[in-house]
């Protein structure tokens, strides 16, 4: 009762079907109803939101093992073997890995059986991916000096495993990684934030929507956009956020190879570290038919991007009394577990380039903490601390 009047509240749950009113189709947007009857794209997006199946599960009955890249399977085994030497996938054939990951299905509605869209996106050759999804790709754009066009661009049109690496390399190329200690351990704010941002673009995209995904680095922010099957609308906050899987098979696969965390943890990590990276400004995550992430940036110069690692190491030596960086500690841990580990294996495990691993091992050798005994093939590492 409000001001002497009875107010009746009736909850009408979202329907799983598309309904018409007097022959018209309406889409609810906040407190308004928008007539979308003659707008084909909006009607298609509405039907897509109502689907109970995930687009990654679309079956391609004529897709065979010949269309997948053999080298990617071996790379996945290598990554997993470093993370978990007892992982069951290490003893499986290529086809068994795909089936174990749920990337081979039978569609009990059509009777079709075969590899799925998810399998093609993860392991397919580039020409195969372009055949099943001609619009597939992510535009990575740097737009600082030339705001009308761009200063740098990478059109990433390959499998999701290598797409992740190229997008992270683009971020590392154009954004600084300031010194930050969590307790007495240095962590990479840039890596913690943008690992989740890049994973979101690739894992949670609605792949049947041709809208091109973007990662745009500007002077004062980083913005991403990707097609989305929305479950709600508006800004997302850690308090109100309820995780909903968009492509659960792809998400699970990324977790197995260490490219993503459990559902929902990525959003909380962004809200945790982005204000530190952005000088106090909060990130924005906006749910809709397009999912947007906006990470504010503090002003910096291109020189800062190039010299971050050098100044960080100098600062570390001066202020932490030879406390190792997080990456150097992880390198020591890997070497203690396997003294014959190669720099290539360390790079896979740590998500670094070979040059990055070599830089840190050289620093450790220079500090008298690490020594290499023997040659590249038959030699091994010795920790001196």
Domain count within the chain = 4
Hey, what are 168's tokens?
A: 């992270």
* One domain, residues 95 and 45: no
**Does the residue 344 lie in any domain?**
yes
Q: Is residue 316 part of a domain?
A: no
pLDDT value of residue 49: 62
Is 304 part of a structural domain of the chain?
A: no
Looking at the fold, whether 1 and 68 belong to one and the same domain comes out as no
Mean pLDDT, range 67-78, rounded to an integer: 93
192 and 290 within one domain: yes
64 and 1 co-located in one domain: no
The CA dihedral of 256, 179, 152, 220, to the nearest 10 degrees, is 110
pTM score, whole prediction: 0.70
Q: Is 31 in the same domain as 116? A: no
Helix 248-256 / helix 189-203 crossing angle, nearest 10 deg = 140
Residues 85 and 42 in one domain: no
Q: For 310-323, what is each residue's pLDDT tens digit?
A: 544 444 444 333 44
Question: Has residue 351 been placed in a domain?
Answer: yes
Residue 24's domain comprises 1-50
Average predicted confidence (pLDDT) for the chain? 84
**223 lies in some domain:** yes
Answer yes or no: are the C-beta atoms of 195 and 168 closer than 8 Å: yes
331: domain CATH number is 1.10.10.10
Task: Decide which of 83, 113, 132 is a domain's last residue.
Answer: 132
- Give the angle subtended at the CA of 316 by the CAs of 324 and 364, to the nearest 5°: 40
Residue 308 structure tokens: 């971050």
Task: Give the Cβ contact number of residue 48 at 10 Å.
Answer: 17
Q: Looking at the structure, tell me whether residues 229 and 277 fall in a common domain.
A: yes
Residues 108 and 231 in one domain: no
| Rounded Cα–Cα distance for residues 236 and 282 (Å) | 12
Q: Examine the fold and report which residue of 100, 132, 164 is the final residue of a domain before the chain moves on.
A: 132
Is residue 47's pLDDT more than 50? yes
Q: Are 202 and 333 in contact (CB under 8 A)?
A: no
CB 230 within 8 A of CB 299: no
With contact defined as beta carbons under 8 Å apart, do 139 and 153 qualify? yes
How confident is the model over 91-140, as pLDDT tens digits? 999 999 999 999 999 887 788 899 999 999 999 999 999 999 999 999 99
Cβ(343)–Cβ(361) below 8 Å: yes
Residue 53 C-alpha from the chain's centroid: 22
- What CATH number should be reported for the domain holding residue 262? 3.30.565.60
Residue 317 lies in a domain: no
pLDDT in tens, 28-41: 665 677 787 887 77
- Token digits of residue 367: 């500090």
Judgement on whether residues 155 and 281 belong to the same structural domain of the protein: yes
- Whether residue 330 is predicted with pLDDT greater than 90 in this model: the reply is no
Token pair of 250 as six digits = 């792809």
> Residue 261 domain-assigned?
yes
In the chain, pLDDT over 70 holds for what percent of residues?
86
Residue 301 lies in a domain: no
**Could you tell me if 281 and 159 lie in one domain?**
yes
For residue 44, how many other CB atoms are within 10 A of its CB?
13
Same domain, 268 and 171: yes
pLDDT in tens, 196-237: 999 999 998 989 888 999 999 999 999 999 998 877 778 888
Read off the DSSP letter of residue 5: B
Asked if residue 224 and residue 92 are part of one domain, the reply reads no
Q: Can you tell me the distance from the alpha carbon of 373 to that of 371, in angstroms, rounded to the nearest whole number?
A: 6
Which of 296, 316, 335 terminates a domain? The answer is 296
Mean local confidence (pLDDT), 315-344: 71
């Amino acid at each position: 009762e409000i001001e002497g009047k009875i107010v009746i509240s009736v909850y009408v749950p979202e329907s799983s079907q598309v309904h018409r009113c007097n022959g018209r189709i309406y889409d609810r947007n906040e407190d308004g109803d928008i007539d979308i009857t003659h707008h084909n794209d909006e009607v298609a997006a509405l039907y897509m939101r109502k689907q109970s199946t995930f687009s990654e599960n679309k079956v391609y009955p004529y897709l065979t093992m010949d269309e997948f890249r053999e080298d990617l399977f071996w790379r996945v085994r290598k990554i997993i073997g470093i993370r978990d030497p007892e992982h069951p996938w290490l003893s499986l054939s290529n086809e068994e890995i795909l089936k174990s990951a749920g990337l081979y299905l039978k569609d009990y509605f059509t009777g079709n059986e075969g590899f799925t869209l998810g399998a093609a996106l993860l392991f397919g050759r580039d020409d195969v991916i372009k055949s099943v999804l001609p619009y597939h790709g992510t535009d990575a754009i740097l737009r600082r000096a030339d705001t009308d066009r761009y200063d740098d661009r990478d059109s990433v049109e390959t499998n999701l495993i290598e797409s992740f690496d190229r997008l992270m390399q683009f971020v590392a190329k154009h954004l600084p990684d300031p010194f930050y200690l969590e307790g007495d351990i240095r962590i990479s704010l840039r890596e913690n934030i943008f690992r989740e941002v890049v994973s979101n673009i690739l894992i949670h995209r609605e792949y049947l929507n041709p809208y091109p995904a973007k990662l745009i680095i500007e002077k004062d922010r980083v913005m991403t956009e990707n097609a989305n099957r929305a479950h709600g609308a508006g800004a997302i906050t850690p308090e109100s956020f309820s995780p909903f899987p968009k492509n659960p098979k792809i998400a699970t696969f990324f977790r197995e190879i260490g490219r993503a965390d459990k559902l929902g943890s990525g959003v909380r990590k962004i809200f945790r570290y982005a204000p530190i990276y952005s000088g106090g400004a909060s990130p924005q995550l906006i749910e809709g038919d397009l999912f947007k992430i906006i990470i504010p940036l503090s002003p910096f110069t291109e020189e800062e991007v190039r010299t971050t690692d050098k100044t960080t190491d100098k600062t570390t030596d001066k202020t932490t009394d030879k406390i190792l960086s997080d990456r150097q500690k992880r390198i020591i841990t890997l070497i203690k577990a396997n003294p014959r580990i190669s720099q290539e294996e360390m790079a896979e495990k740590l998500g670094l380039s070979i040059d990055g691993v070599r830089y840190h091992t050289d620093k450790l050798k220079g500090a008298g903490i690490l020594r290499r005994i023997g040659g590249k093939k038959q030699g091994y590492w010795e920790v001196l601390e």
